[in-house]
Amino acid sequence: MKINIPETGQSRIVIVGGGFAGLALARKMAKSGSQVVLIDKNNYHQFQPLFYQVAMAGLEPSSIVFPFRKLFHKHRNVFFRMAEVTGIAPEKNRIHTSLGICNYDQLVIATGADTNFFGNEEMARLAIPMKSVSEALFLRNTVLDHYEKALSTVDYDARQGYMDIVIVGGGPTGVEVAGAIAEMRKYVLPKDYPELNCEEIDIYLVQGADQLLKGMSEAASRKALDFLTGMGVKVKLSARVTDYDGEYVKINDGTTIRSKKVIWAAGITCPTLPGMPEESKTYGGRLKVDRFSKVAGTGNIYALGDIAYMEEEAWPKGHPQVAQVAIQQANHLAGNLKRAAKDQTLKPFVYKDLGSMATVGRNRAVVDLPRIRFQGAFAWLVWLFVHLFAILGAKNKLFIFLNWVWNYVTYDQSLRLIIRPRMPLREVGKKTE
């Protein structure tokens, strides 16, 4: 069975994945004269850098997602299908999906990355990742639900299991989550739960490396550590979580922490797609690509973003798996595809590092730009501006800005709702008269 897409005679570009890379390429190619087919398991684009604010009740999920179909209302040669890709047949120029097969002239793989539990099956089953809006909502529900339960738990040790939180991974996500929880503990939870002693809430951040924000400067790392420890977060460097049974977290230094919540932000891996040639595969599930984003061992398959492993002289171990790389690769590939259609010379990709940043909380952030590094309140304002500018949709930008202003002025968030999706009960087999 084939996916129902019109056969127009145009060259067909199939893009798998609607993250930063896939969406940027689809938008660039929307007026190219080619037929563009975008395939994603969700019908919306997710702005991943703000997942933690959804998880900590600072933003509604609708503020950081944008429907694909709305983006391409005016582009009749762009088709979206909500499906999962189950395999690729390069020799036949087709992919297999949950909706059927889809032929292509050029295939672009931009499936991003998923959480890496490093083979720990118990951790994968019990820890809470944060790589999607649904996972962020699950974390929000879990955090609030546990504080409700803590109110009715008399035993101190059992109550600590509900109140304390362990975050694994000291990258931007782990640091931002730790800072957001610390601010909730100080400003929000004492008002919502006056019966609880919120000073009893312990927040642990466990980092395997000897510094936080490993990919940033030492100055940024030190300042992030100072910010977090000043906010009362217990940071454990050069430490590794070895086991978790849903009640106790065991660390390789011999310590044990009681907590029913482990937030996993320790690493990423890329999903494997059956059918890709062996020579294209490298560590972490990534696909080897040349400087033109073409996958090794293929003639018309490209990879972008987190899943693409591309070496440059300045990046001999591949580019960092961040949004800027994905967007730049997508824009570059779009230019090359248009050049190829005109029989023009293709240009090799050169990554321009625009810097990196992370926020730790109100008036606390670290920014590393190519020529300048700074921390503190100004860095926080820069972080706010950059992320607000990157959000899709004017309404989303407005809602997020108003939420941020309200939270800043009132030291409060108004989105602390426990919402559990549930199928409505129906009487099966009952006949209506």
> pLDDT (tens digit, 9 = 90+) per residue, 215-234?
899 999 999 999 999 999 99
Please report the pLDDT score of residue 57 as a whole number.
86
Give tens-digit pLDDT for 375-420: 999 999 999 999 999 998 898 999 999 989 988 888 776 667 777 7
Q: Report if residue 55 sits inside a domain.
A: yes
Domain boundary among 267, 292, 309: 267
Q: Report if residue 1 sits inside a domain.
A: no
Co-location of 131 and 246 in the same domain: yes
Average pLDDT along the chain: 93
pLDDT of residue 137 exceeding 60: yes
Task: Please report, for the domain that includes residue 243, its CATH number.
Answer: 3.50.50.100
Co-location of 105 and 136 in the same domain: no
Q: Report if residue 148 sits inside a domain.
A: yes
Co-location of 50 and 64 in the same domain: yes
Rg (CA), the chain: 23
Q: Report if residue 397 sits inside a domain.
A: no
Give tens-digit pLDDT for 113-122: 999 998 889 9
Task: Please report, for the domain that includes residue 60, its CATH number.
Answer: 3.50.50.60
Domain boundary among 252, 267, 282: 267
Co-location of 105 and 61 in the same domain: yes
Co-location of 205 and 135 in the same domain: yes
> Which residues are identified as catalytic?
176
Please report the pLDDT score of residue 170 as a whole number.
95
Q: Report if residue 372 sits inside a domain.
A: no
Co-location of 96 and 221 in the same domain: no
Co-location of 192 and 261 in the same domain: yes
Please report the pLDDT score of residue 424 as a whole number.
61
Please report the pLDDT score of residue 423 as a whole number.
60
Binning pLDDT at 50, 70 and 90, where does residue 427 land?
low
Q: What is the mean pLDDT of residues 328-356?
A: 97
Q: Report if residue 132 sits inside a domain.
A: yes
Co-location of 31 and 148 in the same domain: no
Co-location of 223 and 176 in the same domain: yes
Rounded Cα distance between 211 and 7, Å, is: 54
Residue percentage of the chain with pLDDT more than 90: 85
pLDDT of residue 433 exceeding 50: no
Give tens-digit pLDDT for 267-314: 899 988 899 999 999 989 999 999 999 999 999 999 999 999 999 999
Co-location of 153 and 291 in the same domain: no
Q: Report if residue 374 sits inside a domain.
A: no
Give tens-digit pLDDT for 28-74: 999 999 999 999 999 999 999 999 999 988 888 889 999 999 999 99
Co-location of 126 and 234 in the same domain: yes
Residue percentage of the chain with pLDDT more than 70: 96
Give tens-digit pLDDT for 157-171: 999 999 999 999 999
Q: Report if residue 391 sits inside a domain.
A: no
73 lies in which domain range? 12-113+270-341
pLDDT of residue 430 exceeding 70: no
Task: Report the number of distinct structural domains present in the chain.
Answer: 2
Please report the pLDDT score of residue 58 as a whole number.
86
Co-location of 195 and 69 in the same domain: no
Domain boundary among 240, 267, 294: 267
Give tens-digit pLDDT for 172-229: 999 999 999 999 999 999 999 999 999 999 999 999 999 999 989 999 999 999 999 9
